[in-house]
Chains A and B, each alone.
Chain A
Amino acid sequence: MATSKPRSFQEIILRLQTYWTSHGCAMMQPYDMEVGAGTFHPATTLRALGSNTWAACYVQPSRRPTDGRYGENPNRMQHYYQYQVLIKPSPPDLQDLYLGSLEAIGIEMDMHDIRFVEDDWESPTLGAWGLGWEVWCDGMEVSQFTYFQQVGGHDCKPVSGELTYGLERLAMYVLGVDHVMDMPFNDPDAPIHLKYGDVFKQTEQEYSRWNFDVADTDILLQHFKDAEAECKRILDQEHIDPKTGAKIIMAHPAYDQCIKASHLFNLLDARGVISVTERQAYIGRVRALAKACADAFVQTEAGGAAA
């Protein structure tokens, strides 16, 4: 297999896309909402539910407001990319497939020490958990590997295998870059060469300031309440649409509101207005929405219910 070294951040993404699509995954596009991780994409959260089979891969821009460092930290940012693979049911050779993807992005397997180190995954906001590992390459965590056991309070049957790559960190490692902002975004020999910092340094500064000091907490709080109310209202609708007479359960629109609530909670957290005790209560409120959405989704055709 050609394992020449990739030359840029985007080449690593392209190679992952090529690799996983050639192994049968449908290439999704990033979800068009602010999320904290690739798992929030309905192509993972909702599709991990129910009995239907599924195979998807995609890049998901992810936002973690509390991780903002004004673009100064070598690898910590409030906005970054995750590469996500979800296959249901998890194939028996998923570990080998995964190792193949590392080879595809130019990691020489016989020179490195790849290890699967226990790491159980849990998302309190999604009411989800799974068992798996963080994958280490020479002591560095390069991916998260999880067999989903529960999502939104529902047992996963069949079980999905989920792979999550932290793209910047992985790419920095493969490209030998010490500071994320110095990483070539496109090819270094391109007529107009761009580094990661050319694209994101300024936005990191802007968002760090907004996230930490400027975001209007009253408005955010109101948005949180609105999203919560709207999510419940959507799910309270009759399943039969009075206009078309068809059964239309609006699991996805409701889930959008759940995603919104989750991100608004993260923003409020970054503004430091959520106390330790309140924290649990907020997480519980988001989880309640996620569960309600999961309950709705499994009643739909995509969720495995008989049409």
Chain B
Amino acid sequence: MADLLLELFSEEIPARMQVRAAEDLKKLVTDALVDAGLTYASAAGFSTPRRLCLTVEGLLAESPNLREERKGPRVDAPEKALEGFLRGVGLTKDQLEVRDDKKGQTYYAIIEKAGRPAADIIAEVVPNVVRNFPWPKSMRWGAGTLRWVRPLHSILCILSAEDGAEVVNFDVDGIEAANLTAGHRFHAPEWFSVNSFDQYRAELKKSYVMLDASERADHIWEDAKNMAFAQGLEVVEDRGLLAEVSGLVEWPVVLMGDIAEDFVDLPVEVLQTSMKEHQKFFSVRNPKSGRIEKFITVANRETKDDGATILAGNQKVLFARLSDAKFFWENDLRVSLDDMAAKLSNVTFHNKLGTQAERIERIAALTAEIAPIVGADKELAVKAARVAKGDLSSEMVYEFPELQGIMGKYYAEKADLDQSIANACEMHYSPLGPSDDVPSEAVSVSVALADKIDTLAGFWAIDEKPTGSKDPFALRRAALGVIRLILENDIRLDFMSDNYSKNFYIFDDEYKKIVDVVANAKNIEKTIEDTPSILDQDLGWDTIKKAGLLYSKVDESRGQLSEVSEMIDKIREQNVEKHQNLLSFFHDRLKVYLRDKGISHDIIDACLAMPNNDDFVLLVKRAEALQAFVKTDDGTNLLQGFKRANNILTAEEKKDGVSYELDPEVKFAEDDAEKALFAALDGAQGATASAVKAEDFAAAMAAMASLRQPIDAFFEAVQVNSENQLVRRNRLCLLNRIRSVMGQVADFGSIEG
């Protein structure tokens, strides 16, 4: 048994790539070792800004001997087959064995691989891994051809056992593996030799390097918390930032500094974002006031003035940054949200979907339709739609795009707009993900819905739908957002109505042509109206010229108009198809959403087959009741009964080539159970219909549950395929009635089980 220690020492590796790279190194090296026959007990990968490290413990000292037999072609097989076999096993003909087989004499290849020392295998594996390492972005340097994330300076690779450690000899493009590494760039740049992982790790610690990223993160977080706590403050938690900062230092030293009084009145989000994005500072909050009063920065070294110079420098940079932020904030406050929104007429949203300003107008129009449905004040909602994206042209959002919406809210509040409008500025982007809060205030809800539906219908109109893993405009997220807004606010939206299909026409090229043709006709009509009647004039040359020109235009226009009605039909057809396709997309998202809520896909399919499936609230009510019902004893049995009826009916209909859709007549019923089923169906039909109408699906299910016993009893007592054809037909029609009564509630045929 031996232990392997590998370190790849380079110039600074981007923080965001380090942890993944250490994992990749571990996987790639250990997989290759195992493939070569070297198993091991445990392995771990580590990363710092300047090094990737891998330790493998309990590694076999050499790979086991391998012997493999492979059966080849028969001796009398064509020469070609033998050649192929020899190529495959890498042997010559005289190295093969001939054995008697059931089918005759057959060639056998015996491949023997002698075990190899671990060092030889490692010396092959590591250069290969280094040369093909999956960095997100890699580079060349100097005059070499090797690629690494940044210039690679040295490779430490040793195998250690109880009797000592040895360097594994190999080189990668001139970098020879050795047993050396260096400490912290400034504190301990000297190279030192390494003989085991434990000694390596301990020596690094003495050389101001914490090898383990999670140790660095814990250290930073503990120190930061304690420093803040000592002053009655708290650090704003930010795991992403903590991970990043841990990747920027080998020796973290936490320092806390002040934010100048000039800036504490900036919105907290502005302070946090500016400090985080530009300086990678943590925000320190006063829990009483909620204000951000201090910052925490993490240096990569100790100094003899305990970081005073470093902190002063950082403070100065922050001052400049926040001066900028304050400058943006004050400039923005001088501009009204309306004026900001007006500027968006110069900003393209998408080259096929017009400018941001045009988009906002569409959203406002749609908001006006949706507002009454969700119970929002129409005027407030439309106003909100018009200003909600205004902050996109603010200086602050230009600088910090992630503050979109939040800044709009501040600007709306500063302008004393109604609070519901200010809230909509922030909330209309929500929900952004499956766990993000859904707005509930009516004004926010209507703008949020209009925004997302406009986006979806727009991209559907220009045929930019998500495909596979590609969804550059986050349309799946938008659709899920619509679904959650509708369901969580109980909104009855008939999505297939014309309100939601306007974008299909607006962005239809054919439609634009029609608009031109009709506009042209309108102009001609107006010209004729404005021209004093030609009939009243003498037919002089001038009049004839004028009339001729005018009438020829009329003729041309008529010609064009004659094609219009056909085009309108075609467009309508196409656009209904697009609209239907978008509805299916919603249904797919809804399935995913409901599956997470424990409703299986076949239940949803059974409900999707019902009318008004563009009303998602209705759809979900039905699905929930149905899911609950099929889990009950009655439900399971009724489903079996339905399937039995359905199977028999389908088979007989197929056999006879007719549909048994006539009303069955009770007078042909022979058996009591049969008569009882007639009565039960009569009762259930009415009860189910009225329950469905009242959308009381629990009651509808209960009404159907009353069918279980009679159906079971019917099948128990009655043979459907009676000798008597009249009775048989009547019974098949009775089965059809089971199907149609139950079909009022859901398509039970889709349900599995």
Contact = CB atoms under 8 A, between A and B. Distances in A.
Interface of A: 74-75, 89-92, 95, 109-118, 120, 130-133, 137-140, 147, 149, 156-159, 161, 173, 275-277
A92 B151 contact: yes
Contacts of A277: 348, 351
A139 B351 contact: no
Given A120-B137, A131-B150, A139-B314, A112 B142 contact: no
Contacts, number: 98
B260 to A, nearest CB: 13
Interface string B456-488: 000000000000000000000000000000000
A105 to B, nearest CB: 15
Contacts of B347: 276
A149 B186 contact: no
B301 A113 contact: yes
Contacts of B12: 115-118, 133
A73 B141 CA distance: 38
9 contacts: A91-B142, A113-B313, A115-B248, A131-B139, A149-B140, A158-B144, A159-B141, A276-B348, A277-B351
Nearest to A137: B313
B320 interface: yes
Contacts of B346: 275-276
A89 B142 contact: yes
Interface string B220-249: 000000000000000000000000000011
A41 B12 CA distance: 28
B186 A110 contact: yes
Interface stretch (B304-312, B330-338, B522-530, B720-728): B304-312
Contacts of B144: 158
Contact of A112 (B15, B140, B150, B309): B309
A131 B16 CA distance: 14
Interchain residue pairs A-B with the least CB separation, the first 5: A138-B313, A118-B14, A116-B12, A139-B314, A158-B143
B318 interface: yes
Contact of A116 (B11, B312, B313): B11
B15 A118 contact: yes
Given A92-B142, A147-B151, A276-B346, 11 more contacts: A75-B320, A109-B186, A113-B301, A115-B12, A117-B15, A118-B12, A131-B149, A138-B317, A140-B317, A159-B142, A159-B143
Contacts of B348: 275-277
B207 interface: no
A48 B458 CA distance: 46
B310 A138 contact: yes
A116 B185 CA distance: 11
A276 B354 CA distance: 12
Given A276-B346, A276-B347, A110 B320 contact: no
Interface centre among A95, A131, A132 (most CB of B within 10 A): A131
Interface centre among B144, B309, B313, B347 (most CB of A within 10 A): B313
Contacts of A133: 12
A139 B16 contact: no
Nearest to B15: A118
A111 B16 CA distance: 27
A113 B139 contact: no
Contacts of A109: 186
Interface of B: 11-12, 14-16, 49, 137, 139-144, 149-151, 153, 186, 248-249, 279, 297, 299-301, 303-305, 309-310, 312-314, 316-318, 320, 323, 346-348, 351
B304 A110 contact: yes
Interface centre among A115, A138, A158 (most CB of B within 10 A): A138
Given A116-B12, A118-B14, A147 B139 contact: yes
A179 to B, nearest CB: 11
A131 B303 CA distance: 30
B15 A113 contact: no
A111 B139 contact: no
A116 B305 CA distance: 22
A19 to B, nearest CB: 19
Contact of A90 (B142, B303, B312): B142
Given A90-B141, A92-B151, A115 B314 contact: no
Given A75-B320, A113-B299, A133-B12, A138 B309 contact: yes
A149 B139 contact: yes
Given A111-B305, A139-B279, A159-B141, A117 B318 contact: no
Contacts of A159: 139-143
Contact of B318 (A110, A114, A118, A139): A139
A118 B16 contact: yes
A139 to B, nearest CB: 4
A173 B313 CA distance: 8
A99 to B, nearest CB: 8
A92 B148 CA distance: 14
A130 B142 contact: no
B247 to A, nearest CB: 9
Given A92-B151, A139-B279, A113 B142 contact: no
A27 B149 CA distance: 31
Contacts of A130: 139
B248 A112 contact: no
Contacts of B249: 115
B313 A139 contact: yes
Contacts of B139: 130-131, 147, 149, 159
B309 A111 contact: yes
Given A118-B16, A131-B150, A113 B310 contact: yes
A284 to B, nearest CB: 15
Given A110-B186, A139-B318, A147 B310 contact: no
B697 to A, nearest CB: 51
Contact of A113 (B49, B137, B279, B300): B300
Given A113-B300, A115-B300, A149-B140, A138 B14 contact: no
Nearest to B298: A113
B298 to A, nearest CB: 9
Nearest to A173: B313
Nearest to B318: A139
B300 A110 contact: no
B586 to A, nearest CB: 32
Contacts of A74: 320, 323
A147 B140 CA distance: 8
A89 B310 CA distance: 34
B490 to A, nearest CB: 41
Nearest to B49: A116
